[in-house]
Chains A and B, each alone.
Chain A
Amino acid sequence: MKPAAFAYHRPETRAEALALLAEHGEEAKIIAGGQSLVPAMNFRLARPPILIDINAVPGLDGVREEAGQLVIGARTRHATFEKPVTAGPLGTLLARVAANIAHTPIRSRGSWGGSVSHADPASEWCCVTRGLEAELVAESATGRRSIPAADFFQTIFTTALRPDELLAEIRLPLFGPDWHCGFAEYARRAGDFALAMAVVACRVEGGVIREARVGLGGIASTPVTSPEAVAALLGQAPSPALFAAAGAAGAAATDPDGDIHASGEYRQDLVKAMIRRALVQAFA
């Protein structure tokens, strides 16, 4: 379990990092926390000829609020979110999600941007990014662009990032106090890759759900949204029966793959349960 040989760069400015990306393109892989990349390299499943370590690049950490969005620096570590980073329902939600991500050492080192760039469909941040309709901001030596989450995740371990691009920020909607958010996942052991997960956010007005977002993870080649669950929720008053119905509607529309831990059918059961539980948590 020794990685294949690679060249290593540790740029100290963002411009230097982007220049290296422009120069090396597909040959290069960015390393931030390395919590997915390093094991893959040790198994020799990943063999990037060049590593660009962005840990010395200033300005990639931390969160800020800007124009109704929570702006998350791509290198912000998972552990940052263990306590709410913002006062509204989003901060509470992210703290609940963070508790499900692997274990303390991994949370201390792994980064949000690394997680979504890696695009493991069982990643909690990928599920949140897609489910809550985040925007992803990519930079390259030639400019900066914003990519909607719907376009960002292309297939397993594959994103819309170009080889010369660095993911700089993730922008999540800052939900107001009329929003209710929840997250649930099921894993064989605490900290394992989940067999299924769901994130929900609902805006209630006049006792009725007026807006809803539902994201699912661990069941397809990318994180997905569940328009069926959303449709079941809209215009309805929150209730245990509604939550179960939304779970059933969301699950019915999925066709998960099976593996050694769970068949597709079993994952469908789990989707139903996780949507329901996320809703129960959101309205608790």
Chain B
Amino acid sequence: MGGIGRSVTRLEDPPLLRGQGRFAADIRFPGELHMRVVRSPIAHGRILEIDTADALDSPGVVAVWTGADVAEIPPIDFRQMRIPGLGDYRQPILAQGMVRYVGEPVAIVIADSPYAAEDAAELVFADIEELDPVMTAVQSPGEFAPGLTTEAGVVRKSYGDLPAAFAAAAHVFELELGVGRHTGVPMETRGAIGYWNADLNRLEMHGASKVPHANRLAIAKMLSLPPEQFHLFEGHVGGGFGIRGEVYPEDVLACLAALRLKRPVKWIEDRKEHLLAANHSRDQLHRLRAAVDANGVVLGIEDEFFVDQGGYVRTHASTVTDLTAGMLPGPYRVPAFAATGHIRLTNKTPAGTYRAPGRYEGTFVRERLMDHVADRLGLDRVEIRRRNLIPAEQIPFRRGLDALGTEVVYDSADFAGLLAKLEAGVDLPALEATLAARRAAGEKVGLGLAYFVEKSGLGPFDDVIITIAATGAVEIVTGAASVGQGVETVMAQVAASVLGVAHTDCTVVHGQTDRIARGMGAFASRVTVMTGAAVTMAAEKLKERLLAKAAQLLQGDRASITLDGCGIPLGELAAACAADDGTPALTAEASFTTDHMTYPYGVHLAVVRVDAETFGMVVERFVVAFDVGRSVNPMLVEGQIHGGAAQGIGGALFEEFIYSEDGQPLSASFADYLMPTLNEVPMVESLVLEDAPSPINPLGVKGAGEGGITAAGAAIASAIENAIQYRINIAQLPVTPARLRSMLQQASGS
């Protein structure tokens, strides 16, 4: 009942569907205060003075703090991928003398209502001497601070003999390819509620998400609190996508204010703030050279790319750059490769990870190259890919690169097999013929496809504690987090499969730092792999104990007894074991550790129609073939694919943070930052495969969180070129109607 492989409905949903969810803004403490952040209106400047007098006199105001009031708090440190030299580029919680992007926090107002706080925030006047902003990562590095350039770091990765590859090449192609600045925009904006719990003599942060345990250590250290005196509590979370749940200035400020004032302090981000203050992402420009033989086989790729990091280096440090370089070769053999990624500071909102960080960009670059080679050599776009894929017999395949500090080893794959299944699944020859007939009749409609390799299941560990009560109720406590992806349901299904109970008898506790000592949270498509493995291990331990106890009680043979066939209720068996242990309930703990990620893969196929008069583009069909090793809940896997594809379409056609030359953000509301809606997203078709289960975890699963988005930009660009029959070369996302129009005009003019 409800075990692995079943599309059971989500355990999380009843409160959400009944309007009983508890999101950050729903959390209220008696006597709470409200924090409003005063943000820089200037992209780059030196703070001369901040006048807070009028704000302090405003009704209901309790405190107004500027950088000087928090000068002792260190800047926000990195959570992962710290490479040397980045430390000087970290963000202070309130600007210290300089502002580096529009939206940077320069002061906070704390008042007895959100209205009073916002009214008073308008009265804080920051006198800022404007400096020239840097608005592109491509120009030569300038000065960030005395002795520091705007190039915070360079990531280099390579393997193979690149000079030999170019010497042997029949063709050398050079491409410049860019992915615009966009990001994950969760439906729930960020929020943080700092609460001084006087009874327990501890500070609490409610509204936590993604990585509560890591943030506990990080914020406690910044506030000079022992970690035992600081706990984080995750409620319902309305989407994460990599950006929500990192430590941001506002989280630390709300906690600091609660600690200093000994009153609850609530901060709820508004949408305009969100678009200015939460991590942006993507925004890369790649300059790529490829050595290709006469048959279209890529012999080598040399890629130099520039990452527009924005005003500071935030918690992800070099993560996006690292993943871009480490995952760029994808499913192809590419015998020689070198990537150089420049992390450059500009005067935009700081950037971090967003669903498929580095892979959305790298896949766009690599798959555009494949289309380009096919086009120039007169080869079919599927055939060019087939010729370059790593053959199944070379799996496991050591890529010769590392990513997120682990060696990249494709643990299981049948790349050609998946491509063949997709071709058969959509009847590609018939589809191509239909589209060709429509083009002959005057329509501009085309098909594109793009291959991707994802990564998932980042270690190093995940711990799980499972307890079975005398009632038979199973409680699973994990340090994973839920950003809405179905953690409770999936972990219950995994435990139910081992213990032979209904998944509805299992409750999953996550995101509470006072319930389990360590935890890794939810990112990088890791939870089903890592937490799922730990749940399996802990449940197996319990099953062994229970079976042994049943055998003892029944005086039977251990090997011939099953839990559901032994006739003793699970709760009674568990209670008997607990009595032996002298504990209130039967408990087992397990820790799954790994130093390798597991690599799901797939293909995106898009059919796009271009309007010849308006240059509008309509995605008519979007198909995702995705091998996830093993699907714990196929419905949730499909949901991940649909959501990812929608965001991928957004990044391909709509979403972009545009800045004026003087650094003013021009896309700071939903009127100008265009998220795709149901009208712009077709019903996504998914072909979920389980042909390549992972050999490196007990369940054989691979993470399904990101494969829905990874190749969307590449596939849509390919489809648009096909629709207009290769009169242009799409080198930049998003492909807006205005951009398409000017590309077509240039092409017809030349």
Interface residues of chain A, those whose CB is within 8 Å of chain B, are 1-2, 4-5, 43-44, 186, 188-193, 260-263, 266, 269-270, 272-273, 276-277
User: Cβ of B669 and Cβ of A269 under 8 Å apart?
Assistant: no
Q: Does B400 contact A (CB under 8 A)?
A: no
Known interface pairs A1-B272, A260-B667, A262-B737; A190-B122 also in contact (CB < 8 Å): no
Q: Indicate with 1 or 0, residue by residue over B667-678, a CB within 8 angstroms of chain A CB atoms.
A: 101011010110
Contacts of A188 in B (CB 8 A): 616, 654, 674, 736-737
Known interface pairs A186-B614, A186-B616, A191-B679; A266-B270 also in contact (CB < 8 Å): no
Q: How far is the CB of B37 from chain A (nearest CB, A)?
A: 13
Known interface pairs A261-B736, A261-B738, A262-B737; A189-B677 also in contact (CB < 8 Å): yes
Q: Does B518 contact A (CB under 8 A)?
A: no
Contacts of B741 in A (CB 8 A): 266, 269
Known interface pairs A2-B115, A2-B118; A189-B654 also in contact (CB < 8 Å): yes
User: Cβ of A44 and Cβ of B738 under 8 Å apart?
Assistant: no
In Å, the complex CA distance between A272 and B674 comes to 25
Within 8 A of A (CB), among B639-679: 654, 658, 666-667, 669, 671-672, 674, 676-677, 679
In Å, the complex CA distance between A266 and B270 comes to 33
What bracket does the count of chain B residues touching chain A fall in?
20 to 34
Interface residues of chain B, those whose CB is within 8 Å of chain A, are 114-115, 118-119, 122, 270-272, 613-616, 654, 658, 666-667, 669, 671-672, 674, 676-677, 679-680, 736-738, 741
Q: How far is the CB of B664 from chain A (nearest CB, A)?
A: 11
| Chain B, interface SS category | loop
8 pairs from A and B in contact (CB 8 Å cutoff): A2-B114, A2-B115, A189-B674, A189-B680, A190-B680, A262-B737, A269-B614, A269-B741
User: Cβ of B677 and Cβ of A260 under 8 Å apart?
Assistant: no
Contacts of A277 in B (CB 8 A): 613
Q: How far is the CB of A278 from chain B (nearest CB, A)?
A: 13
Q: How far is the CB of B659 from chain A (nearest CB, A)?
A: 10
Q: How far is the CB of B693 from chain A (nearest CB, A)?
A: 40
In Å, the complex CA distance between A132 and B220 comes to 66
User: Cβ of B738 and Cβ of A190 under 8 Å apart?
Assistant: no
User: Cβ of A189 and Cβ of B676 under 8 Å apart?
Assistant: yes
Q: How far is the CB of B683 from chain A (nearest CB, A)?
A: 16
Contacts of A189 in B (CB 8 A): 654, 674, 676-677, 679-680
* Additional 11 contacts, C-beta under 8 A, given A2-B114, A269-B614, A270-B613: A4-B119, A43-B669, A186-B616, A188-B654, A189-B654, A189-B674, A189-B677, A260-B666, A260-B667, A261-B736, A266-B615
Most buried by A among B122, B272, B615, B738: B738
Contacts of A276 in B (CB 8 A): 613
Most buried by A among B613, B672, B674: B613
Nearest chain-A residue to B666 (Cβ)? Answer: A260
Contacts of A186 in B (CB 8 A): 614, 616
Contacts of A190 in B (CB 8 A): 677, 679-680
In Å, the complex CA distance between A240 and B132 comes to 53
In Å, the complex CA distance between A262 and B739 comes to 9
Q: How far is the CB of A111 from chain B (nearest CB, A)?
A: 20
User: Cβ of A273 and Cβ of B614 under 8 Å apart?
Assistant: yes
User: Cβ of A273 and Cβ of B613 under 8 Å apart?
Assistant: yes
Contacts of A4 in B (CB 8 A): 119, 122
Known interface pairs A43-B669, A188-B654, A192-B674; A1-B680 also in contact (CB < 8 Å): no
Nearest chain-A residue to B739 (Cβ)? Answer: A266
Q: Residue B671 contacts which of A2, A193, A262, A272 (CB distance < 8 angstroms)?
A: A193
Contacts of A266 in B (CB 8 A): 615, 737-738, 741
Which 10 A/B pairs are nearest by Cβ-Cβ distance? A190-B679, A273-B613, A1-B270, A2-B118, A186-B614, A2-B115, A260-B658, A260-B666, A266-B738, A262-B738
